[in-house]
Structure 1
Amino acid sequence: MQKFLLLSLVVLSSFLSKAQDLSRKIDSLIQSEFKDINEPGGVFLISKKGKPVYEKAFGMANLELDAKLNTNSVFQIGSMTKQFTAIGILILEEQGKLKVSDPISKYIPSYPNGDKITIHHLLTHTSGIKDFTKMKALQDIAQKEMTPEKMVDFFKNEPADFAPGEKFEYNNSGYVVLGYIIELVSGETYEDFIKKNIFDKAGMTNSYYASDRKIIKNRAFGYHKKSTGYVNKTVINFSVPFSSGSLMSTLDDMLKWQNALNQNLLLSSKEETKAFTKYKLNNGKEIEYGYGWHLKNINGIPTREHGGSIFGFKSMAVYIPSEDSYILGFSNCDCNSPTQLIRDIAKLTMENSKVK
């Protein structure tokens, strides 16, 4: 019995030592990028089998009020919004209200070439429609309240970049159209649909459609870095990025999101699999994108990834299905991108799991 207890203590001690060593290495990686605790910073989470194993905050949430970031801070997540939009479309498909093979002309009859562009093309960034973020006229509407219909009208008559299905080119406009279709088909606002069908079901009580006017507890403020120092982020009306980039969330809520996907709380396994399937162009070439996720790999191990960037904020998450490991980071200065950092942390955790 004593030998068994001694062996158990040795194993436990080894496990704790290994975990502490990994934590120190991750701290070091993050602090090499987020050096000054008195500047805007970031929050980071690593989960294993649905449970957090690392969760820390670095830097300031509000420079004017001298308020520090904490692991419950609410961040704008930018283009990680696209995951929610894509799953929203699949929820409507599972309800029998649309099909991803439908042409968008079925829902928006006036859309140019809409009989050739499908919902699938929008989801996979293969539609060829003009990305509104690349239009010079964007500055004219950036601070205006835009309905989804007005946003679609803003870019729909621009010349196409290529024929549908010919090429993969990351595209925000496609996801704005998807959000508009969600509203048309569901009869609800995008904000209400996402809250009812995703946030509420997943228990994401600290996630929101972004607003600069609402009082949001634990809000992290966004910053730009200039040669003279930090300045508050540029203001944009969130009706402009809309369903391509206007959601806010926290580390813990995003873990709830990942767990809800894993547990099929939102969709059946068959329907959800569509989001994580690599699709092909017209010429048969495979692209590394599903519906709302980049499908890549780290050292040959498949990953599901997506980042986000919106004025004052950047975000990145990597999920490793084979290890059920989720690595996530948010930054409240768009001068600090966590993209490579999160991939490096993911690589470190993978290497650590191989060490016995």
Structure 2
Amino acid sequence: MKKLILCFLIPLFTTTVFAQTFDKDKLDLYFQTLENNNKWMGSVAVSENGKIVYTKSIGYSDVATKTRPTETTKYRIGSISKTFTSALVLKAAEENKLSLDTKISKFFPNIKNADKISIANLLNHRSGIHSFTDNENYLSWNTKKNLRKNY
């Protein structure tokens, strides 16, 4: 019985004693150091129990005009969305909500060869789908400012 009680008390004690505390000043110093050394630009939000407890924006949201970011700055996220998408797809596969072997024709039947391309192929960048960044005119339209307000 003593062993059983200890099995419950030790984890409770260690998680209570060693729980992390939020140190706003330490984070401010860290982000200030990054900014001072031109090592990072962007915005950060930390939440705890669904409530935002810390926000910080450093660097520029637009380097050319030296526009500083705010809490409401909208960023063009680019390739980082691949990481989040992959994590969500793998989580869904882990929960048996989808299979990595599923052909994309189930979702996108109009794509050429969709019946031969699996979700795993997409995650591994082995789908054979043309990359629009390989187009000759890609840089001519990609580098132009997008005037849309909501994207």
1:12-35 Cα shifts (integer Å, max 9, x gaps): xxxxxx64xx11221222233221
Match for residue 69 of structure 1?
69
Distance 1:128 1:65, change over 3 A: closer
Match for residue 47 of structure 1?
47
Match for residue 32 of structure 1?
33
Distance 1:105 1:141, change over 3 A: farther
Distance 1:34 1:105, change over 3 A: same
Aligned-pair distance for 1:57?
Answer: 1.2
Relative contact order: is structure 1 or structure 2 higher (C-alpha 8 Å, sep ≥ 6)?
1
1:55-95 Cα shifts (integer Å, max 9, x gaps): 011123345544322111110112343446978xx8xxxxx
Match for residue 8 of structure 1?
none
Q: SS in structure 2 opposite 1:140?
A: coil
Task: Note if 1:140 corresponds to 2:136.
Answer: yes
> What residue ranges of structure 2 are gaps of 5+ in the alignment?
1-20, 93-98
Distance 1:72 1:80, change over 3 A: same
Contact 2:34/2:40 (<8 A) preserved: no
Q: In 1, Cα distance between the equivalents of 2:50 and 2:69?
A: 23
Aligned-pair distance for 1:132?
Answer: 5.5
Aligned residues: 118
Distance 1:40 1:68, change over 3 A: farther
Q: In 1, Cα distance between the equivalents of 2:66 and 2:136?
A: 34
Tell me which amino acid in the other structure corresponds to 1:121.
A
Which structure: greater strand fraction? Answer: 1
Which residue of 107, 128, 144 maps to 2:126? 128
Match for residue 146 of structure 2?
213
Q: SS in structure 2 opposite 1:129?
A: coil
Q: In 2, Cα distance between the equivalents of 1:139 and 1:127?
A: 17
Tell me which amino acid in the other structure corresponds to 1:25.
K
Q: SS in structure 1 opposite 2:47?
A: strand
Match for residue 208 of structure 1?
none
Distance 1:28 1:132, change over 3 A: farther
Q: SS in structure 2 opposite 1:68?
A: coil
TM value normalised by structure 2 = 0.52
Contact 1:43/1:58 (<8 A) preserved: yes
Q: SS in structure 2 opposite 1:28?
A: helix
Whichever of the two has the greater Rg, that structure is 2
Contact 1:56/1:71 (<8 A) preserved: yes
TM value normalised by structure 1 = 0.26
Contact 2:61/2:75 (<8 A) preserved: no
